[in-house]
Structure formats: structure tokens, C-alpha cells
Amino acid sequence: MQTRPLGRTGLDVTAISFGGGGIGNLFKPATRDDAEATLHGSWDAGIRFFDTAPRYGHGLSERRLGDFLRQKPRDSYVLSTKVGRLLTPLRGRTMTDYGFTDPLPFEQEYDYSYDGVMRSFEDSLQRLGLDQIDVLYMHDIGTDTHGDANAHWQPIAFDGGLKAMVELREQGLVKAIGLGVNEVQVCLDAFEHADLDCFLLAGRYSLLDHDSAAPLLEACRHRGASLVVGGVFNSGILATGPKPGAMFNYAPASDEVIAKAQHIERVCAAHGVPLATAALHFPLRHEAVASVLLGVSNTRNLERNLASLDTDVPDALWSDLKAEGLL
């Protein structure tokens, strides 16, 4: 599989990366056997960039991914995880529902402080069963997650958490640092506080929704940073097609969004390219994009996505989408 540089870190990552939300039982259960089969299938397909987070299954994803990666030479893959949440034992408390089925018995608590980030990093190493993490993201800082409370959390994160992450990089304990979020402005704000290497941006640079990402792409190009793009199907509509009930950003798509997706689909069909295939290829056309992250929990979806990656997409498709005002 093709590799690309991750900013100026010296890391080369595969153009397709593995997202660990699914093996953390996001929205539906994945058995241990399903998770292992999906990870083995990803490895056999050439994927060598793996992402997880404490949030996913309340530690379940990190444990499953670490169990798999311990079987591989440590210099043969790149691993990312995230900070910003600490996991604490339930001990009789009622677990908050974050969309994970049968998660581990821990509660998630936000902590973007210097000490919280350092503890989260060490906790992740324990859950992974590994002694090294390559890429560390600050997870879900910003108004999309916290609303008005972000006015409280962001100063703590930027004055404390980012400082901890910079120190971890300076000490050689991680090779790259950045944000893992689904909004653009907080990434631009973070650039004013630290020299970041990369951003995992979900849902904001897709075939259907990409205008808002332009300032961040330009900033990355100017500063030598990279974008890892998640949510290329916008939580469903670009994979299932713009049909009634299609999902867009985890909610039913509006009539306006469905109409735009139908317009894109018609242009794609004129070139014999499935909508999902175009959606997967689109982000990889930009020089600042290092990898597209796929969140899969079974081999069937993995194989379908990889088949789309191997499909040739003519340049004329992109020209026609631009001529139609869709790019």
C-alpha cells in the first residue's frame, strides 16, 4: 500500500489507516474473533497505521489493538491514540451511554490538564501492553463536543495539556502530536499555542462537506503538518447513497444535503464510479492529507472499502464535479 509522510516527523504512514472505534463496539457489538479477523485482514491488505482511543469501548479498543500489535515487530507499524479523557472504575456507579455496546466497566471523565494528559498517556500504554506510542492526539476539544463549556476546557487544554504533549515529544516518548477532532477552528486555534504535526479531522473534509476545511489545509501546507481524514462517508450518506433515512453527521440527512448528494452521485454515475468510491478517493487528492482513516469492525466492510481504493477514478470526474459547483 502507498505510504505518505506524516508532516515533518520522519514517520511514513499508509494512505489508508485503521480506525479502532468499531473494535470498541461503537453502536454494535464486535466479538473478539471479529475484531481479530478485521485486524488481521487490515494487516494482510498492507495497512500499517492504526488508531485508537481510551473512549472507544471505555478501553476495549486499546486492549484489543494492543493484543494484536504485540505480535508484530514494533518498527513495522505506526500507532496513534488520544488523551483528554481518563477512565475510572464504575464501582457501583451507573455508566453513561456514549454509544458503545458492552464497554468495559469504566466511566469517562474529561481531563485536559497537564497532569491529566500525562496520566492518560501512561494509562494507554498499560491498556495497550506496549511501551511506545507514535502519534498522540488531544481528543474532542472544541465547541462541537463541549458547547459553552469549551470556554472552560480549552484554556486548560492549550495551557496545560498541549504543554504535556510537547514535552512527551521533546523527550522522544512520542514522535508526533496533534488534535483528533471534528471541527476546524479549534485546530487553527491550537496552531497558535504549539507546533503541531498532524490533525485527525473527522467529517469535515469529505466529498460532500469540505469547504470549511480549506483554511486548515492551507495552514498545514504552510507549516509542514499533515491531515489524517476520518468520516469520509459522513457517517453514512456517502456509503449508503442519498436515500430516505440516510445519515449525515450522525443524524438524518436534511433535504438539502440529500439533494446535494444526489447531484454528486449523478456526476459520479456518468463516469461509472460509485459514490462511495469517489468519497474514499477524494481526500487523498490533497497533498496535505497523509491518510484516510477507515473505521471498520468486520472483514466484509473492510474488503468493500479496499476494493473501492483499488478502483481507478478518472480525472474527468473531478473536473466535472468542479464544473457543477460541487468541488
Catalytic residues: 51, 56, 82
Say which residue the cell 464486535 belongs to: 30
Is the torsion defined by CA of 33, 302, 25, 228 positive or negative? Answer: positive
Alpha helices, H only, 97-254: 114-128, 143-146, 150-156, 162-170, 185-191, 214-223, 237-240
Please state the φ and ψ torsions of residue 253, each to the nearest 5 degrees: -70, 140
Please state the φ and ψ torsions of residue 137, each to the nearest 5 degrees: -110, 145
DSSP states of 232-274: TTGGGHHHH-S-TT-EETTEEPPHHHHHHHHHHHHHHHHTT--
> Which residue from 229, 173, 226 is spatially nearest to 198, judged by alpha carbons?
226
110, 156 in Cβ contact below 8 A? no
Q: State the cell numbers at 30.
A: 464486535
76/74 Cα distance (integer angstroms): 6
Please state the φ and ψ torsions of residue 97, each to the nearest 5 degrees: -85, 110
Q: Any idea what DSSP says for residue 205?
A: S
Please state the φ and ψ torsions of residue 99, each to the nearest 5 degrees: 95, 10
Q: State the cell numbers at 257.
A: 444535503
